[in-house]
Chain A
Amino acid sequence: MMAWVYIVHTGTDWEAKMTLEPQVDYWYWFEGGGCTAWAVAGWLWSEPLPLGWACGIAEGWDYRGKGGEKRALGNEAAKKPADSQEALAHLVLRIERMYSYDRPSGDSRRGVHRLGGKRGLREADKGGLRGRAEYWPRAGHSGPSGGAAERGMEMVAASARIAAGLLQGRALLSGEARALLEGAIAPVAGAGWSEAVQLAALLGRVRLSGAVAAADGGRADARRRSRCLRCGSGGEKLGRTSCASCGRLCAYCEACLTMGRSRECELLVLGRYEAPERMGTGEEELSVRERLDKWGLSTAQHAAAGEALRFVEAQPLYSRASVLRHNARRGAWKTTAEQGVGRASWLGRADEWRRHFKSSIWNGRLARILARGSQSASERTDIRNFLLWAVTGAGKTEMIFPLVDSVISRGGRALIASPRRDVVLELDPRIRRAFPDARVVTLYGGSEQRWERGEITLSTTHQLFRFQEAFDLVVLDELDAFPYHGDPMLKYAADKSCLPGAPRLLLSATPPSELQRAARIGKLAHARVPVRYHRHPLPVPSLVSSPAVKAMLEEDKLPKALVKALRDSLNRGAQIFVFVQRIAQSEPLAALLRRKLQCAQVDATSSQDPNRAEKVMSFRKGEIRLLVTTTILERGVTIPKSDVYILDADGKLFDEASLVQMAGRAGRSADDPGGKVYFFGPERNQSQLQAVKHIRSMNKMARERGYLLPKYEGRGARA
């Protein structure tokens, strides 16, 4: 994609700007489009440049000659341009530098690409660049009420307002922005999407940049420094190819290709979140306890949810007003009398927005987030994390209802994100039932609601690439699950979706060890729910020594202990999960079990099974009694009456977290709380012992806090 670059003198200084539609900028600066924003003079470079370059020049504009560029540019540039010719010469130098960066590596002999050459300055003096740069205001310029242009621009202004509203909190590539806007704008105003976006950018409502750019803004001069601003990947995740849309060598991001291609000359539109006027919290000041009561939580849930709710409400929701106050206190921003009397028109606020945008902490923070890039997950300090460590089957979803309720009743927006699509789909009806009046938007690959906005957003973590500082509350479910855990890209996405200072709730039954440690030493606020909603203790696994699955298959023989236990489970009418390490073992083992148990209702499934959904469904219905599977079903599947058998429990694919999760499939319902869990394997290793210890410690804590049913209170009860 190509863009233009221009400089304007706003009365105090020369500023460089990038534009998609020079016509809109001209109107804004010289024909009164900006109302309070007036420019004295300007130069438009009339050749389109790759978008990344134009952004780089605008963002790295150093007309005062400060910063690191000074030395590199030499003496000529260090001088402050006193008049428009000199500013233009400065611009020409910047454009030349872009061309010279673009030299293929290894070709160090070729000099810089000469536009005016060394002569740039002198040529500019003589007006030799006139053909390639256009002076603003144009000859025959008619002044503020620019006639025909003005009328066309009214439509652009109207559509810019719509666009700014729709783009709030989003981070979209040009194609996505177009898909979102064209449907909404065209029937109303008839202006092109890029014009609308450009005007919104001038007003500070959106920010435009290259999708792959240098971390600190501007175009990178070395590949190493640039990053994909959408997913935070850099370095070897970026491929540099010759690009037909900008005609130059141009880097693209391979890490987030599935969500559309982000590249150097591709536009990334970041919409600023304009929080609505918040409702006063004074009117219905119910206590935390009273508000929690309506959700019908158990004692343990109640306690944890109360803690989380107090945490969420410890700070008011993000609002522009609070940021402005914050800035005013810092002296960075002053209200002017003019704005007080203000024009009622939205355009009247243009200057305020623009100035706010320029000095806003949003701007600075964005640069900081981008500078930190992918390894920054824990570094964004303004997000307030809260770990809700709840055992499997504790009823986590019910516990987040009061939090979501608190945020949306104050006019905020809540996000519930999960790494797994099936979890999102399962959550959808439950949330809609709990919040019948709220607008719920569910996002996943291929979702119909892709461009809708709502008070509650349910999303897979991948969809978060398309958001930027958009939510007042973020709930991150199953944070230790694949693919979220260990993927810096998704962490980056989850980070950038939070509004400044927003609370983020991390849900897990088996938090990663670094979070457990942070919680233990008091660095991370947390609440533990050590008991299931039915108040029975978690089933503790029995460790049984047995041959490996490989040996069973080779010898075509099952150990007696396993057969007996399985028979017992079948006889008591339980559904049976059998977990194995390898996908390849699942089918043969199912065949062996079918023969030895003389039971036809045995089947196997894995991540590579196209009929997985149907098989899980018939397992749920009881048509399949015994399902051989891999860790793919370790979480998210709830079968009321089930027993769990983990074979090769000493295998290296089963770590503590995964063993606890698999064990958590048993005893989920109040009707059958005492499901059986067996770890079969030739050895007992550290992971198994830790998993057992984990489960025991949760049961112990539940007993100490008195969460268990009275019948378990005695000393002799099963631990």
Chain B
Amino acid sequence: MSGVGKLKSILRSAGERPMEWLSPTVTGCMICGKTVLPHHGSSYRERGMASYRLLRQCLCVSCFASIPWLDRIQCEVCGRGVDCGDCIRRPERHFVCNRSAVGYSSVMREWLAMYKYRGQESLAPMLAEMLVPSFLRLTEEQWLQRPQRGEARTHHGLHRLKAWMDSFWHPYAEAARRWDAITYVPVSRERAQERGFNQAQQVAGFLSDKLGIPGYDLLIRDRHAEKMSFKTRAERQRDSRTLFTGNEGQIRRLENQSHMSSRESLRILLIDDIYTTGSTAEACASAIIQLASRPVQLYILTWARS
């Protein structure tokens, strides 16, 4: 093709897709593939410190609207949106509490299946992003007092400027400082072979990178259990009790790394995809606590609460 012909063909193809040329940020929705238009303000309220900006960029309006956020919590222990009997029935537990990002609706079930069973790993960052608001709320309600309007004034002007700059560059630094480690629920070797990845590990990895909290592999899965979804409640609790052991090397490493912190107990965040009865969480918590030489406060952060 001659030079002029080539130029012409380039110009012609440019004319066909002016949108793509002018606004490179217009991409498809990660779930349904529809065009995501840039949002100019939105009817969705920002919740607490959390911002949904990134999520809105990768989801179309209707997919974003279909997320059943769990932002009103009834049960302080398991993070359910309705009153729950489970937590009363459980006599003792080794973790402090669970918080989940969303309710496990049929749409959410579909999203998780796309990622977990079909293996669309490109969804992992988006699912991890969905956990951020819950993470912030959890941190907030446990340890952070929201600064009162009057209070902030007392600071020196320059100090305030620095704080403002910090919040700009490291928006999660304040929350992340409260934590010592992020870890995840492991899967068995067979499952990893078959699926090719561990969903909880991937999500934990993204969160660790984003928030700047060190990630550890604190747990080892001992045996291959049947898929949990085929079991009754009692079976689940019995089976998962002996499923995990702590990873001693990693626990020691964590203890050494964090011995500098002034807190007397280790604060660990455990990531999983779904919280159903809490037996997995319980088994993991007790496995870690058994091996730890310092007191441990274990919090569970799950993507969905069924």
Taking Cβ atoms with an 8 Å cutoff, the residues of A that contact B are 239, 241-245, 250, 252, 254, 257-258, 261, 263
Contacts and interface: CB of A to CB of B under 8 A. Distances in A.
Contact of B192 (A245, A254, A257, A263): A245
A459 B107 CA distance: 29
Interface stretch (B95-103, B166-174, B194-202, B222-230): B194-202
Contacts of A257: 114, 118-120
B192 A241 contact: no
B122 A261 contact: no
Nearest to B202: A241
Contacts of A239: 121-122
Nearest to B192: A244
Given A244-B192, A252-B119, 11 more contacts: A241-B121, A241-B196, A242-B197, A243-B196, A244-B195, A244-B196, A245-B194, A245-B196, A252-B121, A252-B196, A261-B119
Interface of B: 114, 118-122, 192-198
17 contacts: A239-B121, A239-B122, A241-B121, A241-B196, A244-B195, A244-B196, A244-B197, A245-B192, A245-B194, A245-B196, A252-B121, A252-B196, A254-B122, A257-B118, A257-B119, A258-B118, A263-B196
B89 to A, nearest CB: 36
A59 to B, nearest CB: 23
B118 A243 contact: no
B219 to A, nearest CB: 16
Nearest to A257: B118
Nearest to B187: A244
Given A244-B192, A245-B192, A261 B118 contact: yes
A254 B197 CA distance: 15
Most buried by A among B119, B122, B192, B196: B196
Contacts of A261: 118-119, 196
A1 to B, nearest CB: 8
A89 to B, nearest CB: 32
Contacts of B197: 241-244
A257 B113 CA distance: 12
Contacts of A263: 196
Nearest to A239: B122
A261 B116 CA distance: 11
B120 to A, nearest CB: 6
Contacts of A243: 196-197
A251 B120 CA distance: 12
Contacts of B118: 257-258, 261
A245 B194 CA distance: 7
Contacts of B198: 244
A245 B119 contact: no
A137 B147 CA distance: 77
Nearest to A258: B118
B35 to A, nearest CB: 15
Nearest to A261: B119
A245 B122 contact: no
Contacts of A250: 196
Nearest to B198: A244
A247 B119 CA distance: 16
Contacts of B193: 244-245
A263 B197 CA distance: 13
A263 B196 CA distance: 10
Nearest to B120: A257
B120 A254 contact: yes
A236 to B, nearest CB: 10
Contacts of A245: 192-194, 196
A282 to B, nearest CB: 52
